[in-house]
Amino acid sequence: MPLSPLNPALARTSAPPVMEARRWLEGVTFPPERPLINVSQAAPVAPPPEALRRAIADAALENPAAHLYGPVLGLPELRAEVAAQWSAGYGGQVRADQVAITQGCNQAFCAVMATLAGPGDAVILPVPWYFNHKMWLDMQGVAAVPLHTGPDLLPDPDAAAALIGPATRAIVLVSPNNPGGVDYPPALIRAFLDLARRHSIALVLDETYRDFLSGPGPAHDLFADPDWDDSLIQLYSFSKAYRLTGHRVGAIVASPARLAQVEKFQDTVAICPNQLGQIGALWGMRNLSDWLAGERAEILARRAAMAAGLAGLPGWKTLGCGAYFAYVEHPFALPAPDLARRLVREAGVLLLPGTMFMPAADPAAARQLRIAFANVDTAGIAQLMERLRGLAF
């Protein structure tokens, strides 16, 4: 029986892709000699380091304020630490009043978009896009304008310029990219900021995976621009760096005027971000730099194993590989959604089809798959390649 009443914008929004994929596992058994290889989601499954967990536990036991409402825009100490580390890491200047803490990076995106766009407005998303970005825009009645990328999955500023119209409020970039895995070159990111400025719109730069960049050095130099906050809004997640997914801690770096509007959203939706999660994130920032460097090295080793393995699969084409992801074209006649479902039963592999990251009418989506390899070690990647090599559809 249909729900009544039901917000039509929400009804038109696609179901959560990861949850849909998990339902493909229902009724399927995986023998011990061939357990499921789950490469569908890019969230760490291991807990944080023990020392960080102890810091959270100590706060839970010894800090009564950790159980109360905190500041709407986050703990001042954490905001100041982000500002200091960003200033040093990017070679620029970020102040504490240009930082807000949120309940995860998805909420950071929603809060920022709530300040930028409403029904009838438009936001440009490179495709393949991060599906939760598209879902939020759909829920709000904001048009998601697809910016098609080339075979290297890099967006073209000139192509984006042609899409900008009176209703355009922002361009969103994700680098390192989810789902594509590619790092956007600093010059390309700079070109998009210049484009946004020329058209008086925002550049929203989601750097959830910035701690796992493939190359050395900062991802860009935008914070070295003294006027960066007139157009740039950066998003970040502590979940990937410190395995704090369940604690929901993200960040927005933007102008104080923008954050004053974010505060309205935060106070209405969450009141304040999770205090214990923030305490954990702050402890991690201050104490886990060497540990995080080891995490990055392990992800880069897995990236290398994934790239080498895919290169040895006949007919497969790697479009992007980096951070937590490989994005590929498969060689089979089956559409990607059908192939993904069959992979569960016939290969013991759970991954996501390109149709979850592309406009419905885009024919390229049927040939594409996303492989999230962050939770699979190099031995597991070798096993994954063996199973994919043995496919015959």
Residues 343 and 281 in one domain: no
Residues 144 and 16 in one domain: no
Residues 121 and 16 in one domain: no
Whether residue 3 is contained in a domain is answered as no
Residues 200 and 94 in one domain: yes
Residues 215 and 361 in one domain: no
Residues 199 and 60 in one domain: yes
For 337-367, what is each residue's pLDDT tens digit?
Answer: 999 999 999 999 999 999 999 998 899 999 9
- β partners of residue 168: 122
Q: Is 35 exposed, middle or buried (0-12, 13-18, 19+ CB in 10 A)?
A: exposed
Between the alpha carbon of residue 58 and those of residues 61, 66, 285, 321, 376, the distances in Å are: 5, 10, 17, 39, 32
Residues 133 and 209 in one domain: yes
The pLDDT, as a whole number, for residue 133 is: 97
Whether residue 284 is contained in a domain is answered as yes
Domain boundary among 288, 316, 341: 288
The pLDDT, as a whole number, for residue 110 is: 98
For 133-176, what is each residue's pLDDT tens digit?
Answer: 999 999 999 999 999 999 999 999 999 999 999 999 999 999 99
Around 372, how many Cα atoms within 13 Å sit in the side-chain half-sphere?
Answer: 21
- β partners of residue 372: 325
CA distance 277 to 193: 32
φ, ψ dihedrals at 119, nearest 5°: -50, 130
Domain boundary among 256, 288, 320: 288
CA distance 355 to 337: 7
CA distance 151 to 182: 11
Whether residue 1 is contained in a domain is answered as no
Residues 241 and 95 in one domain: yes
Whether residue 116 is contained in a domain is answered as yes
Whether residue 2 is contained in a domain is answered as no
Domain boundary among 269, 288, 307: 288
Burial 209-248 (b: 16+ CB within 10 A, else e): bbbbbbeeebbbbbbebeebbebbbbbbbbbbbbbbbebb
The pLDDT, as a whole number, for residue 44 is: 83
Indicate which CATH number applies to the domain containing 17: 3.90.1150.10
Indicate which CATH number applies to the domain containing 108: 3.40.640.10
Token pair 């009443």: residue: 5
Provide the residue range defining the domain that includes 68: 50-288
Segments in the chain below pLDDT 50: none
Residues 347 and 265 in one domain: no
Whether residue 385 is contained in a domain is answered as yes
Residues 97 and 226 in one domain: yes
**Hey, what amino acid is at 46?**
A
Residues in CB range of 356: below 8 A, 6 or more apart: 14, 17, 131, 370
CA distance 207 to 222: 13
Between the alpha carbon of residue 247 and those of residues 53, 56, 189, 228, 238, the distances in Å are: 11, 10, 30, 30, 9
Query: What pTM was estimated for this model as a whole?
Result: 0.95
Number of folded domains that form the chain: 2
Instruction: Work out the angle at residue 364's Cα, subtended by the Cα atoms of residues 358 and 366, and round it to the nearest 5 degrees.
Output: 85
Whether residue 70 is contained in a domain is answered as yes
Residues in CB range of 139: below 8 A, 6 or more apart: 7, 9, 10, 13
Residues 351 and 311 in one domain: yes
Residues 36 and 66 in one domain: no
